[in-house]
Amino acid sequence: MNEVERYLRENGIEFKIHKHPAVYTCEQTEKFAESVAGIHAKNLFLKDKKSERFYLIIIPFGEKLNIKDFEKRLKTKLSFAKQEQLKKVLKLTPGSVSPFGLINDKKNLTIVLISKKIFNSEVVGFHPNINTETLELTRENFHKYLETLKNKIEVIE
């Protein structure tokens, strides 16, 4: 049992495990998506260029991220976080970014911006900080997980 699965069990959050070959991109994940119910998400880890603030942006897999729109919304300049920053803040490597990495953000440096479509989906699936599994959660269990976090979470259109 990995750290995420242990954390979820300790917090009474139910999930279903799907094992699959290692995937590094959303496109690769599509091959195994049929076995996981619900909406599939893209998880992007960005950095505020002016501060030590990070953003985890969670949008539906098929949507494109318009960084300019987010910069206007947040009134700051953004860039994709460097691999070292991802490792330091969420203790993750590229290809394994998911909301479950937030359990490692002990300083709560990351603001979560989650698409309303993902937030309201009946079922969601995310990597448990490794890219050889996907954990499937119902909306209720996903919300219960988010409530365990101390990070600021904002649902966006």
Q: Is the pLDDT of residue 71 over 70?
A: yes
Q: How many domains does the chain have?
A: 1
The C-alpha atoms of residue 53 and residue 71 are separated, in whole angstroms, by: 13
The C-alpha atoms of residue 18 and residue 124 are separated, in whole angstroms, by: 12
Q: What domain range includes position 26? A: 3-156
Confidence at residue 39, expressed as pLDDT on a 0 to 100 scale: 79
The C-alpha atoms of residue 79 and residue 124 are separated, in whole angstroms, by: 26
- Among 90, 1, 77, which residue's Cα sits nearest to residue 45? 90
At 9, which CATH number? Answer: 3.90.960.10
Q: Please give the model's pTM, rounded to 2 decimal places.
A: 0.89
- Residue pair 88/52 in contact by the 8 Å Cβ criterion: no
Q: Going by C-beta distance under 8 Å and a sequence separation of 6 or more, which residues neighbour residue 6? A: none
Band of pLDDT at residue 81, cut at 50, 70 and 90: very high
State whether residue 97 is helix, strand or coil. Answer: coil
Band of pLDDT at residue 24, cut at 50, 70 and 90: low
